[in-house]
Structure 1
Amino acid sequence: MSCGVKVLFVLLVLAFAGTSCQKENTRGTSVTFSKSVGGDIYFQPEEKDGYEKVVPDSLGNLVLKIELKEPGYYRYVSTKQFFYSVYLTPGSRVEIVENEDGVFFKGDHAAENAFLAENPFVGEAEEGVEKYSAEWVSANWQGLERMVGKLRESGLPREFIQLQELKYRFGVYKQLLEGPALMAMFMNRTVRLPDDYYDFLKDLKFDDPQITRVPKWFQVMVGAFERMEKEGMLEVSLEHFMEVYGKRIEDEKVRSLFLVNLLDLTLQKGYSDQFPAYVMSVRRLITDSVAIAQLPRIEARYREALEANQMIVRGMSAPEFKAVDVNGKEYSSADFKGKVQVLDFWFTGCVPCRAEMPYMEKLADELEGQPIVFVAMSLDSGNELLATWRQMVKDKKGNEYHLNVPDGFKSALAKSYLIRGVPRVVVIDKEGKIVDAYAKRPSDPKLKMQLEQLIERL
């Protein structure tokens, strides 16, 4: 019996939507927790970030009733802060036992869950091997195939083997796609990737209907398509990118649910003038009945977003601003009149903001000499944060202006743009009209395409 994999309790909130379930088609699943050691335990769907504490019911029992429509995975976090992947199916009865000797599984799927506890593939290589190097990547692919081979020879039910193999593979895809960026964001460390690092994407297919049961499947697929764009493996299209993505997905169910989730994610990120065009471009590709049933709800949300953002839609006059640089020199909207403006709102405590900064700086350098200005708009306020901001930008010498908006998130400018979270990119045309109040991030090649199209029309 393995003690599992130690996890760091970092509570994250990510804006990825899950697929909905029709309650009439679900079956009750029961999970009972038996523990003889003190401490809190947690249990939640594996695709969900954060931790949900298990608390006794009115009779003092630790029992959860879960309505499941199809097989899937949950995460058990033990009193010692180790986590275990738990396989559940509709109508199953599972017991998780924790004592001084560790964590054990009884009831339905005890063999499957014991296998998962003993075989957590986390993507590692021998000590001393540089992460994301060619040697590291090779070791991980080999490790994956060994794990898949062991799974196939386990004698466990076929449905579980097929789903768990997908889960192992998606786990590797996720680490390869997200790992380098996470190192840059949280460890301030840039890694040099092998030339063929992303070659696995060339032959990557999404043709198995069980994909949607894999935790974080949607997140992985979005990351894969966005990386394909950046690597020149996929057409970059400003207006039809969802259709481009959809045509790469072979399975009807996966394609339909992916596109519905992508439309939902677009609304979570903020209002988009292009949303009706996005829906029109992919409607014919959404053919699964469960996905089709979600479209009215999504379109209703768009109408609500349109109403909430009616003062900053395309063609409206952009709110005027005043901001200062590190030397106290004041700039205003009028200083950039006659040029396309790219306003990048951020603050020093925002890790994703800092991760995007090199991309914006590169974009500003690439479009140097064009009638366009890039302005990094810091929303830091208070002496301590302003001091941090000044220290961060005082030596920057690129083609981007670095300004601070007085009063930050409480400023009239932030309120006018309905800025509640960052990074947030706003594009304004040469006449001071809003082009896009929720533009793509600079790491997305579609932002550069949008700006180049604007410049061509000048």
Structure 2
Amino acid sequence: MRNLLLILVAVLAACSTAKPLVETAVSAKSVPKMDIILTGRLLNAHAGDSVWVARKGVKRPEVVLLDATGKFRLVLQGVVAPIDGQLNGPSNCSMIVFLQPGDSVNVTAECRDFYKTVDFTGRGSFVNNYLAQAHRHFDNSRDSVPERLYTKDLPAEYKRKVDLRRQQQLEYMNAYAAQQPLPTEFIRIHKQVLDIQRAVSLLSYMHYAKYTTKQEPALPADFLASFTALPLSSLSHNSDLSIRLATSHLFEEYQYARLLPPNGILPVDLNAAEQIFAQATADFGDTPARDQVIGRMLCDQLRGPLVDNPQPVLAMLPLFKAHNRDSVVASTIRQALRSTEHLRRGDLAPVFTLQDASGKRVSLQDFRGKVVYLDFWYSSCAPCLAEAPAAVKLKKQFMGRDVVFLYISIDRKADDWQKALARHPLTSPNSVHLLDPGGYKASANYGVGGFPSYWIIGRDGRIRQGAAPRPSAGAETVAVLEQALAQRP
């Protein structure tokens, strides 16, 4: 699944007056180390749930547990520079935060409705309340961003609405800053994030138009002017967290809008691969950013439409290796190849044993002799739940036949999973629902990199198709299931 959720982020740095050049070269040893104390209470959370702050350069962040009342106290020791990070708590309780050495911030929130209730007090609360309030004001959920609301507009009108949204965000920030000045560095980086988000929306429109019309869209000459104006060559997975998250969305949409054909699948033709590489070089230059874009595309293909047929990726790898200079990207591709090498068509499907809602243990092998339509999902996944109406129709079409609709949720909490089963039309006599908390037992073994993820497993227990069509694909999904039924073990 392409995660299109927009994250409103900012980085706050301490203001300073101009100083003589000789004073700018300050030894790291002279920078005082100070603790950052983060306390708070998260209502309707469970005792023992973890709280931590993810941030650049820290592989093993400090972790504390909630007590029986939902309270926590997290101390980040010996900090010498501002932290642009993400506060992570129980399910749905996370947001970008900005913390400076010496800050002592208290946060309270209701986990069932985090962004509507989160509030900060204490030293360092001003900028974090801005982030929370701006998120509430612009309702930065997946269903409210321009690419979800206006994709049926003509290109010029869509672009006008995207530009208007960015202008409103800037005006909101300026009005908030009138209460208390915001540092210049904060404003500079925040504007860059908004610029990246605007580019994501424009690229999303191109992707949508390509996919629905099956051809390259006709767009105004200036449609991507704000995209090309970005400092594309400097974007990197080594950036601060907020920039990195926004850039990740940009790289995801870019590959579909500018590189891949309308069907979103990498061609096996070497000439096509060279054209893709040339386009990425034209946009990002001969830079690590270009390598990261191409690497992201190859990994997404391996974990998506080419999970069971990696030949197009293998054909492009020599070209990529000849130019790539990013060892992290190269390692990620190697890992993706290793994690999916047992998922080719005709391979035995990875087996698993999980529990259903009644606590009964169910194994994939229990369905040998039947066709299994495997669906990986989770309760707060909007695209997953959007498939429910089409799935109802599909299951009715195959009622009484040898097809099992096997749902595997990766929800960490059984309560979230069972509430979703009760709230949405997901159950039926020919469906089975299992829980794989965190996705460690089943989802990981199938190399699932996005949700929902569909697989078709034959009567013989072997993979017939990875990245299978969704229920909403209608006739296409019916056809592949009928083909699987016709194949006897």
TM-score using structure 2 length? 0.47
